Amino acid sequence: KIACTAMPTARNLDRELEKMEKKINAGADFFQTQVVYDVNKAITFSEKAK
């Protein structure tokens, strides 16, 4: 399996999601993030990343 990172607290979330899409196209199987303490940011990231 190929793991990649993602940053749910990125200032430009749309850009972060674009980078995730590129990683998926390059073969990423899953993403790992650092701990997110802002629940609203975590929810927004999760909903947009679906």
Confidence of residue 3 (pLDDT cuts 50, 70, 90): very high
Q: What is the value of pTM for the model shown? A: 0.87
Quick: pLDDT tens for 6-47.
Answer: 999 999 999 999 999 999 999 999 999 999 999 999 999 999
Rounded Cα gap, residues 34 and 40, in angstroms = 15
Q: What length is written for the chain?
A: 50
pLDDT of residue 10: 96
Rounded Cα gap, residues 1 and 39, in angstroms = 28
**How far is C-alpha 46 from the chain's CA centre?**
8
So where are the chain's domains? 3-49
pLDDT of residue 15: 98
Q: Would you put residue 27 in left (φ > 0), alpha (ψ -120 to 50) or beta?
A: left
